[in-house]
Amino acid sequence: MVSALAPRRDVIDCQTPLTTHIGLLRAVNLAGRNTVAMGDLRKLMADLGFQDAQTLLQSGNVVFRSETAPAARLERLLADAAAGQLRIETDFFVRTAKDWKAVIAHNPFPDEAARDPGHLLVMCMKEAPEPAAVAALQKSIKGREVVRAKGTHAYLVYPDGIGRSKLTSAIIERALGTRGTGRNWNTVLKLDALADQIGRGKREAGRG
């Protein structure tokens, strides 16, 4: 299977500008559901013609390079391919490396990010929620969790731990009226570093 987005491999460096993307899979490898090996995910990316795909952790994170294209188009392509080749039904959330840096820069909880990054969550969403929906979600929270949103990203602080919290992904999605997938701040920064590494490596190769 080769993507219509995929450039010819013999002209990538000299003719086709590529963009580094970060892709997140929703709800994979959880309690034996939607199980996918990261090696199989990398193979899927290669089969689609994407370049330099590297995965991070087992929660469904992949950094890759491709021709510039709307995120929604890439997300549909990846979801359809995963259903056909990997036999998993899941959503993909794609951001460019530049977009990802904006996610980091716009974090409204810098103190929490520095002090307790494992309990700060970023949720990537399909659509931007209405401000009233975000306010209603915050008002409904019984614990000490705090939620803020900017565009298609929500930032959530779980001071008492994520696993024990009643503020689950299902509740957040229902309240905000959109699907999403979350990563803690440590993973957010690791993905940013991996995207930089891939982009820097290719720039250096081009100068060689």
Statement: residue 14 has pLDDT above 60: no
Q: What is the DSSP letter of 85?
A: I
- Same domain (yes/no): 93, 196: yes
How confident is the model over 35-45, as pLDDT tens digits? Answer: 999 999 999 99
Residue 139 lies in a domain: yes
Please tell me the predicted confidence (pLDDT) of residue 13.
41
How confident is the model over 48-66, as pLDDT tens digits? Answer: 999 999 999 998 999 999 9
Residue 157 sits in a domain whose CATH number is 3.30.70
The predicted model scores a pTM of 0.88
How confident is the model over 172-205, as pLDDT tens digits? Answer: 999 999 999 999 999 999 999 999 999 887 655 4
Residue 181 lies in a domain: yes
Beta carbons within 8 Å of 190's beta carbon, 6+ residues apart: 56, 57
Residue 100: which of 187, 32, 177, 11 has the closest Cα?
A: 187
Statement: residue 97 has pLDDT above 80: yes
Chain CA centroid to CA 68, Å: 17
> For the chain, how far is it from start to end, CA to CA, in angstroms?
31
Residue type, 203: R
- Same domain (yes/no): 79, 112: no
The C-alpha atoms of residue 182 and residue 122 are separated, in whole angstroms, by: 5
Instruction: Give the structural domain span for 30.
Output: 9-97+190-207
Beta carbons within 8 Å of 109's beta carbon, 6+ residues apart: 120, 146, 148, 155, 157
